[in-house]
Structure 1
Amino acid sequence: MITRDPGEFLAFARGLAGDFGPACAKAAFLVAPEGFALAEQSASDNAYMDLSVRVDPQRALAQHRGLQRALAEDLPTVCFPGDPATPDALFPNNVFGTAPGRLVIGHMRHPVRQREAERADIRGFFTGAMGYREIDLRAQPGICELTGSMVVDRARGLGFVGLGERCDAAGAAAMHAAFGLRASFLFDLAPGEYHANVVMSVLAGRALVICPGGFADPAAAAAIAALYAPAVVTLTDAQKAAFAGNCIALRGDRVRVSQAGADALRPDQVAALADAGFALAPVPLDEIEKAGGSLRCCVAEIY
């Protein structure tokens, strides 16, 4: 089912068991921020970027290495080399996604990001070394930036798709089919938002972090929250701007988030995550966040 109707979605999703697949990935991969810089094309529709800010490539590399070390405590984590010609490649989850036995390649909006999909090493890793089947969405007409635009509840087989500059309805349908989901709920992002994974995150299929201010229609956010209640952390716009919503659970008892995102959370919100069985595990990423994305954006999950 693919729907924009909050009531229809909620009625269907509430009847689903968490038996669609593993709630957390079995491994992850990153792409190093070689030649770290801010991409002008991406800044055109990413309000979290400021082209006037100076960046430190070496500091970004050091923070990225720290991120890999931290994630390796949670699950096997590999890192591919970056390329200064693709400055946004450190956010590979927009371009590459996986489902069991499948590698999905997204249809990126900006040419500077479309080049990332040509990487023979990443594609060969999955199709050759891992034996995955490749599903290339670049030829279909819809724009779809994979798990940037779509937040996936892997346990239930649900997709939450934020429509805007970087994902349209045709792209949402293509992702729904490629990931083989049971249902996808489509909603418009608020003006100025570029990806759904900045405004919400589903944690291991049993908890939700969400900022209603990132949705054009409050009813859409309310329907999603109702599905995961009471294990819901509701963010303010300021917390969202600090990337508190750009978090991920790579194992069933830990939430990875940037240090800035963690610092923005109130004690009661941290306690709510603990009540849901999650410890907060922050990683310093303030240099990388100057590029308009944070921890979850850096992580391409392998299922």
Structure 2
Amino acid sequence: MITTSPSEFQHAYAALAPLPHAAATARAAYLVAPADFSLAAASARDNRYMDMNLSVDPRLALAQHAALAQALRADCPVITFPGDPATPDAVFPNNVFATAPGRLIVGRMRHAIRRREATRADIREFFGNVLGYDEIDLSGRDDLVAELTGSLIIDRARGVGYCGLSERCDMAGAQAMHKAFGLRLTYCFELAETEYHTNVVLALLASRAVIIAADGFRDPAVPQAIARAYGDRAIWLSPAQKQAFAGNAITLSGDRAWMSARAAASLTAGQIAALSGHGFAIGAVDLGEIEKAGGSLRCCVGEIY
């Protein structure tokens, strides 16, 4: 079922029991290292978190990325694929490749410079030949835009998706992802005009709590409906905290929420206490150089289910 109605979503969600044996967090993760890291002007056209006037240090970006991979290994196995100088800003693979149990989904990116990433044979072969996953390839379709887990936040324990519609994902893309991920329910909504991806305004923590930036949604009823679905176990972000990427968080185990050092520093003592009360410590990694490209920690992490 796909719905755009807050009330219909709440009614449908209430009728869903958790899926038996479904894991709320991934069994492993993968990253793509920066190579000759730089900012892509095409991406900046609809990513308001980028500032093309900033200079970047490729060596610092590489060092921060390596530190991220090492830190995440505290919670799950992590694989790092080498970067490609032909795609110097390709450090956010979760938009291009994503998984469901036994399946690799390849997304259809909006910008041509990022569509190159979907052609990487090594990543496709790793999932197909090494892990034996079936491949669902949306990248060649010109009738949709679907930037995977940038646009679609998934409650893996229940098979529920939260899909923000924007220039990076249209309704046709949402429908294709609903089918590809095998979801039972997808709630589609429009993001605020200034937003490009859902994963900077909404984070789902191990299927039991949420981080929400309310100003990232066009209809204020949408974030309220999502919060109610999780028993109001919601951490509400200010616009400044959203800009610091506090909404770009991920859980790779049941007891830790990962975000960038900048994001973690923006949280209040009350928000940190609330996360602790929901069972989450905070893991933080300095990604200041990578964040100049308009994404943060969650964007860097591809999940392997």
Q: Which residue of 1 aligns with 2:150?
A: 148
| Structure 2 equivalent of residue 133 of structure 1 | 134
CA deviations on 1:198-242 (whole Å, 9 max, x unpaired) are: 000110000000011000000111111111123110101110000
| Counterpart residue number, 2:37 | 36
Aligned residue in 2 for 1:27: 28
Structure 1 position 194 matched with structure 2 position 196: yes
How far apart, CA to CA, are the structure 2 residues paired with 1:188 and 1:204?
Answer: 24
Residue 208 of structure 1 is matched in structure 2 by 210
2:105 match: secondary structure: strand
Deviation sequence 1:6-65 (CA, Å, 0-9, x none): 100011112222226100000000000111000011011000000000100000000000
- State the one-letter code of the partner of 1:4: T
Q: Deviations over 1:133-180 (max 9, x none)?
A: 000012331100000000011011110001010000000000000000
Q: Which residue pairs with 2:72 in the alignment?
A: 71
Between 252-261 and 84-93, report the one with greater CA deviation. Answer: 84-93
Deviates more, 1:202-211 or 1:136-145: 136-145
Aligned Cα root-mean-square deviation (Å): 0.8
**Alpha-carbon distance in structure 1 between the residues aligned to 2:36 and 2:179:** 35
Once the two structures are superposed, the pairs formed by residues 36-185 of structure 1 within 5 Å of their partners are 36-140=37-141, 141-185=143-187
Structure 2 portions without partners, runs of 5+? none
Q: Does 1:233 align with 2:235?
A: yes
Q: Report the AA paired with residue 16 of structure 1.
A: L
TM-score scaled by length of structure 1: 0.99
Indicate the residue corresponding to 2:226 in structure 1: 224
Cα distance between partner residues in 2 of 1:88 and 1:114: 12
Q: In structure 1, which of residues 273, 277, 287 is the aligned counterpart of residue 279 of structure 2?
A: 277
Partner letter of residue 108 of structure 1?
A: M
- Structure 1 unmatched runs, 5+: none
Alpha-carbon separation, structure 1, partners of 2:203 and 2:14 = 18
Determine the C-alpha separation between the residues in 1 that align with 2:75 and 2:18. Answer: 22
Match of 1:291 in 2: 293
Q: How many angstroms apart in 2 are the aligned matches of 1:192 and 1:234? A: 19
Tell me if the contact between 1:246 and 1:295 (Cα under 8 Å) persists in the aligned partners: yes
1:88 Cα deviation (Å)? 2.8
> Where do 4+ consecutive residues of structure 1 move more than 4 Å?
none
2:9 matched residue in structure 1:
9
Deviations 1:240-277 (A, max 9, x none): 00000000000000010000000011111111110100
Q: How far has the Cα of 1:85 moved from its partner?
A: 1.5
Amino acid at match of 2:184: R
- AA aligned opposite 1:255: A
State the alpha-carbon separation in 2 of the partners of residues 77 and 220 from structure 1.
Answer: 34
Partner SS state of residue 191, structure 1: coil
Secondary structure, aligned partner of 1:83: coil
Question: Aligned partners of 1:260, 1:18: CA distance in 2, in Å?
Answer: 34
The code of the aligned residue for 1:87 comes to P
Q: TM-score, normalised by structure 2?
A: 0.98
Percent same amino acid among aligned pairs? 58
1:268 to 267, 270, 281: 270
Amino acid at match of 1:120: A
- One-letter amino acid of the structure 1 residue matched with residue 9 of structure 2: F
Structure 2: how far apart are the matches of 1:41 and 1:174? 25
User: How far off is 1:84 after superposition?
Assistant: 2.0
